């Protein structure tokens, strides 16, 4: 997923044209970064196509006999297909949390931008400070809270904390302030539209580029949130794919066969991220630049 990041500055350099950096130098830097970021992916892809024997004694960066399909078959049948279960879990945690989390962040940011009420700035500042608190620091306290309610080792133990996205609130507020004209809301009110209806039918549509951005950020954050499931979950059937592959990887000394499965599994597990990015990348760029101008 990181691979798409460096292309964004490249695009803007090209668009602005009159950059002080000579074009060729910029291209060179971009080329080097592209190789740098793509090389591990290439290694992963090549490694995933090899049989276990050939993995150690053939060139790491070039193909040997094609074994990809056998490897995939072994992966999805290993231990009753627990890998597929992990993928589904990840999709459920990530997709669900990103959708709901985006909605919550959008409503929250919109409310902060468009309604005047006492304590508004205080709340907004608290949210902003939430951006600074790393998710890792919250994992243990969350575990203790969920323990009090006997809710650790459940789907909700990972899902509910993942709904929260302070940066999304910030982004939604900035965007709503700029992108949703007060006059339009006034007009809607005069026409008799309720606040909720106004939000969904008018404001949310105006905010859609920001919503895509928030969704993508959130999607990546939840997909990569490793520590929370590690701490919360002890039932393998609830693991997201990141944690599942990690736990296999820690057993490689004992069960060396797992090394191959971890490599193929990693390749497959980055596919949803790549798909999400390719589909939503365009919106994301618009979203980022919009936020940056304000």
Partner 1 sequence: MSAFLRTLGVLLTSAVAVTACSSPDASPGGTGAAACAPSGGGPVNLAFTSWVPGIEEVVQAWNAKNPDIQVKVQTGPNGNGGTYQNFFNQLKAGNAPDLGQIEYDALPGFRVQDGLLDIGSCDIVAQAKDQFLPWTWDQVSLGDAKAAYGVPQDTGPMALFYRADLFEKAGIAIPATWQEYAAAAEKVKAAGGHITNFSQSDINQFAGLAWQAGGHWFGNDGQKWTVSLTDDKTTKVAQYWQDLIDRKLVSSVPPWTAEWDNAYNTDQAWTWVSAVWGANSIATGAPKTAGKWRVAPMPQWDAGQASAGNWGGSSTAVFKTSKHPYEAAKFALWLNTSDEALTLLNQKANLYPATKAGANLPALASGVAFYGDQKIYEVFAKASTQVPSGFTWGPAMTATYANASDGFKAAVSGKGTLTDALTGAQAFTVQTLKNQAIPVA
Quick one: 109 or 276, whose CB is closer to partner 1?
A: 109
Residue pair 58/47 in contact (Cβ under 8 Å)? The answer is: no
Instruction: Report the C-alpha gap between 230 and 234 in whole angstroms.
Output: 8
Answer for which of 39, 144, 271, 275 binds partner 1 (CB under 8 A) is 144
Q: How many residues sit close enough to partner 1 to count as binding (CB under 8 A)?
A: 54
Give the nearer residue to partner 1 in terms of CB position, either 188 or 211.
211
Q: 97, 157 in Cβ contact below 8 A? A: no
Residue 237 Cβ vs partner 1, minimum distance, rounded to whole Å: 10
Could you give the string, one character per residue 206-245, with x where binding to partner 1 holds by CB under 8 A and - elsewhere? ------------------------xx-xxxx--x---x--
Q: How far apart are CA 164 and CA 274, in angstroms?
A: 23
Question: From CA 97, how far away is CA 93, in angstroms rounded?
Answer: 6
Whether 280 contacts 220, CB under 8 Å: no
Figure out which of the listed residues 2, 5, 40, 53 binds partner 1, where binding follows CB under 8 A: 53
Minimum Å gap between C-beta 122 and partner 1 is 10
- Tell the smallest beta-carbon distance from residue 219 to partner 1 (Å): 18
Contact 278, 88 (CB under 8 A): no
Q: Binding residue for partner 1 (CB under 8 A) from 169, 171, 211, 273?
A: 169
For the segment 93-132, give every residue that binds partner 1 (CB under 8 A).
Answer: 104, 108, 112, 123-124, 126-127, 130
Token duo for residue 1: 């997923």
Task: In whole angstroms, give the CA distance from residue 207 to residue 218.
Answer: 16
Instruction: Calculate the alpha carbon distances from 195 to 115, 163, 199, 204, 286 in Å.
Output: 11, 23, 6, 12, 27
Please report, as ranges, the residues that interact with partner 1 according to CB under 8 A. Answer: 52-53, 55-57, 60, 104, 108, 112, 123-124, 126-127, 130, 140, 143-154, 156-157, 160-161, 163-164, 166, 169, 230-231, 233-236, 239, 243, 246-247, 250-258
């Amino acid at each position: 997923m990181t691979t798409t990041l460096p292309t964004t500055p490249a695009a803007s350099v090209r668009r602005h044209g009159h950059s002080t950096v000579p074009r060729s130098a910029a291209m060179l830097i971009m080329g080097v970064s592209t190789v740098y970021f793509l090389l591990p992916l290439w290694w992963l892809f090549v490694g995933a196509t090899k049989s276990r024997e050939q993995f150690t004694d053939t060139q790491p960066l070039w193909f040997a006999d094609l074994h990809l399909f056998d490897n995939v078959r072994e992966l999805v049948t290993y231990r009753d297909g627990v890998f597929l279960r992990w993928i589904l879990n990840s999709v459920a945690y990530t997709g669900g949390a990103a959708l709901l989390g985006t909605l919550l962040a959008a409503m929250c940011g919109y409310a902060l931008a468009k309604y005047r009420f006492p304590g508004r700035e205080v709340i907004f500042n608290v949210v902003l400070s939430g951006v600074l608190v790393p998710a890792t620091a919250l994992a243990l306290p969350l575990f203790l809270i969920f323990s009090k309610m006997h809710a650790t080792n459940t789907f909700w133990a990972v899902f509910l904390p993942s709904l929260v996205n302070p940066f999304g609130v910030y982004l939604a507020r900035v965007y709503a302030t700029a992108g949703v004209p007060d006059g339009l809301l006034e007009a809607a009110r005069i026409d008799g539209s309720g606040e909720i209806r106004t939000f969904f039918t008018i404001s949310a549509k105006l905010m859609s580029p920001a919503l895509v951005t928030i969704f993508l950020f959130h999607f990546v954050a939840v997909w990569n949130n490793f520590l929370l499931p590690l701490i919360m979950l002890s039932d393998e059937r609830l693991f997201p794919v990141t944690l599942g592959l990690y736990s296999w990887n820690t057993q490689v000394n004992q069960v060396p066969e797992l090394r191959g499965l971890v490599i193929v599994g990693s390749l497959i597990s980055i596919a949803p991220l790549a798909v999400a990015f390719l589909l939503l990348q365009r919106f994301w760029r618009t979203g980022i630049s919009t936020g940056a101008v304000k």
